[in-house]
Amino acid sequence: MDSPGGVRRRRVAAAPTAAPDGGYACFILLSCFLVFGLTFGVIKAFGVLYVEIHKYFETTATGASWITSIAVATIHIVAPVASALSARYSHRSVVIAGGLICSLGVVIGSYASSLTELYLTVGFLNGFGYALTWTPTVTMLGLYFEKRRPMANALSSAGECILTFVLTPLFQLLIDTYSWRGALLILGGLQLNLCVCGMLLRPRKATAGRTCVGGGVAEETEEPGASEGSDQGTVQICLEDPGEIPNSEDSKCRGTKGAEIRTKILRYVDYTLITNAQFMVYSMFGLFAALGFFAPALFLVPYARSKGIEEYQAAALMSISAVLDLSGRVLFGWVANLRLVETMQQLTATVILLGTVLLLCPLTSSFAELAAFSAAYGLVYGATVAVHITVLAEVVGAHRLGSALGFFMLIRSSGGLLGPPVAGYFIDQGENYGMGFVMAGVSLIVSALFLLLLHQMTRRGQGSTAKSHDMHTDTMGRSLGGDEVKEPGVK
């Protein structure tokens, strides 16, 4: 629409307000809390169902573990797609769609007559829905919190612990009452609550938007919300009138056609992250960590049963782990929020400790020893996951967290896919569930080496920046000092 005097106005961008760290952010935190519980909490509690499915289909440990590994890998692989869809349509609509897909996959899976059907339903379909719910919700949490982001990430991820604590004995009760098929059917109904979580995701408001004017003048206008079809907060596309003849200033706004296409792509997927060396090193940490993250929770209950522990006591081990997991997330999230040490150093220490704890698992046999192991494992696991998303935000910046989380999950997908089956292979070969924990421990210690490398890269980068700044300051000082001693008229 033309303004008076024939001046054309085109809105270019809307800058988001500062992260509120309160108010409606609390509802985003609640939504993320429930999403963590109904996705990764269910995956961790699946060990109880794994035992029954393993016996029902008379398969190997490797064969039954593919259900979980396919779900985990699908979450990671589809994460970039979830980020792009959120940027195009809105986080709310993507999460609601994901909740429906999760529920549908599990309900259909309850009627499966073969492991292949479980791979496709409880594995792939369920994992696809998880990706559409988890990735956008965690991204939205990062947009709503800044000062308290470490604590917000820790509290939201605590939903995984609490739901694991509740669902593990609940699954055992449902299996005893309705069989594993009935348990899956009820789980499908529970996962419809993910749609409610999506409804809580209100887009962030935007404030000042820049308007391009035909004469090359930029004006500030108030923008009541984010652009249509997106709740990312900032729109980087310059709208143009094809019939307008550009002048030099307008050309800067328009750019070339190639630049416009690049800008539109970057609006949905920031593919430039793959050229970020620090991000790629952190992603390699995620890949090897994923090899060891998911296998222990899947095999803890079967390992206890193989040592003669009765059903409900074995299920109680996961509940013990979940309680200490919750404590670890809240405690170490609070420590990270105090900024007493660098979060990257904190993460490195906890990852090494977690790998060491897992290596000690095969030495346990009685319920008391397994309970002590479960408590130690849960505490250190919680300390690890409390800060790993915070470190990712520090590596790439909060404004790139959506795309970074998607690519990080994609790269980590192979670790999530292969972790349980590789552990299952070692279990089948050694005829001992303890071998799965050894594999997981070694993988986590290897992943810590990439964190040490990243720490050195960060220190080197900070040193180079400081040196450049000092040289620039020194040059400016000399230039100003030289000007002061010059006499008037002397060149």
Phi and psi at residue 444, in whole multiples of 5°?
-70, -40
Specify if 102 maps to a domain: yes
Is 260 part of a structural domain of the chain?
yes
Asked if 136 and 249 sit in the same domain, the reply is no
Higher pLDDT, 239 or 348: 348
d(CA 267, CA 235): 7
Structural domain count of the chain: 2
Is residue 6 left, alpha or beta, with left meaning phi > 0 and alpha meaning psi from -120 to 50?
A: left
CA distance 50 to 68: 9
Question: Where is mean pLDDT largest: 82-91, 271-280, 463-472?
Answer: 82-91
Last residue of a domain, one of 219, 251, 268: 268
pLDDT band at 477 (very low <50, low <70, confident <90, very high): low
> How many other C-beta atoms lie within 10 A of the C-beta of residue 396?
20
99 and 179 fall within a common domain: yes
pLDDT value, residue 117: 94
- Model confidence pLDDT, tens digit, residues 122-149: 999 999 999 999 989 988 887 888 777 7
Average pLDDT over residues 33-45: 90
Least confident of 36-40, 104-108, 307-311, 415-419: 415-419
Q: pLDDT tens-digit profile of 17-30? A: 555 666 788 889 99
**pLDDT score at 183:** 93
Position of tokens 């009541």? Answer: 224
Helix axes 311-338, 149-190, angle to 10 degrees: 150
Q: What six digits make up the tokens of 26? A: 């609390």
Give residue 439's pLDDT: 92
Same domain, 264 and 281: no
- Candidate from 170-184, 205-219, 252-266, 305-319 with smallest mean pLDDT: 205-219
Region of poorest pLDDT, from 94-108, 250-264, 375-389: 250-264
Please indicate, yes or no, whether residues 261 and 153 belong to a single structural domain of this protein.
no
Measured in whole angstroms, the distance separating CA 63 from the mean position of its chain's CA atoms is 27
Most confident of 67-81, 125-139, 209-223: 125-139
Least confident of 45-54, 150-159, 163-172: 150-159
Q: Which pair of tokens denotes residue 202?
A: 């209100």
Q: Give percent above pLDDT 90 in the chain.
A: 28
Any domain includes 330: yes
Query: Sign of dihedral through CA atoms 340, 342, 343, 347?
Result: negative
Residue of 389 and 433 predicted with greater confidence: 433
Alpha-carbon dihedral sign for residues 296, 301, 302, 308: positive
Are 43 and 172 in the same domain?
A: yes
Q: Are residues 171 and 207 in the same domain?
A: no
Nearest to 101 by CA among 129, 67, 73, 123: 129
pLDDT exceeds 60 at position 190: yes
Threshold 0.75, pTM exceeds: no
Indicate whether 183 and 79 sit together in one domain.
yes
Side chain identity at 229, as an amino acid letter? G
Q: What pLDDT, on the 0 to 100 scale, is given for residue 262?
A: 66
What pLDDT was estimated at residue 440?
A: 92
Contacting residues for 453 by C-beta, under 8 A, at least 6 apart: 281
Q: Is residue 450 part of a domain?
A: yes
Which residues touch 377 (CB under 8 Å, ≥6 apart)? 296, 321, 324, 354, 357, 358, 361
Report the alpha-carbon distance of residue 260 to residue 238 in Å, rounded: 8
Q: Is residue 465 domain-resident?
A: no
Determine the pLDDT at residue 421. 85
Residue 212: strand pairing partners: 10, 218
pLDDT-based confidence at 466, cuts 50/70/90?
A: low
Identify whether residues 359 and 449 lie together within a single domain: yes
How far is residue 12's CA from residue 264's CA, in Å, rounded to a whole number?
A: 13
- Shared domain for 250 and 355, answered yes or no, is no
CATH at residue 32: 1.20.1250.20
Judge whether 442 lies within some domain.
yes
Indicate if the pLDDT at residue 53 is higher than 60.
yes
Q: Which range has highest mean pLDDT (154-168, 216-230, 370-384, 451-465)?
A: 370-384
Whether 189 and 237 share a structural domain: no
Count Cα neighbours of 116 within 13 Å in the Cβ-side half-sphere. Answer: 0
Q: By the 8 A CB rule, do 295 and 423 touch?
A: yes
pLDDT of residue 213: 39
For 162, other C-beta atoms within 10 Å of its C-beta total 18
Sequence-distant (≥ 6) Cβ neighbours of residue 239 within 8 angstroms: 10, 11, 12
How many angstroms separate the CA atoms of 472 and 480, rounded? 12
Residue 490 lies in a domain: no
Mean pLDDT across the chain: 78
Do residues 248 and 304 share a domain? no
Q: Tens of pLDDT along 404-460?
A: 877 787 788 788 778 888 888 888 888 888 898 999 999 999 999 999 998 888 887
Q: Which residue has the tokens 């020893």?
A: 369
pLDDT value at residue 235: 40
The residues facing 222 across adjacent strands are 208
Residue 467 counted as domain residue = no
Asked if 318 and 325 count as a contact pair (C-beta separation under 8 A), the reply is no
What is the domain extent for residue 234? 9-16+203-268
Same domain for 447 and 437: yes
Predicted pLDDT of residue 266 = 63
What pLDDT, on the 0 to 100 scale, is given for residue 21? 65
Kindly state the tokens that stand for 305.
């049963």
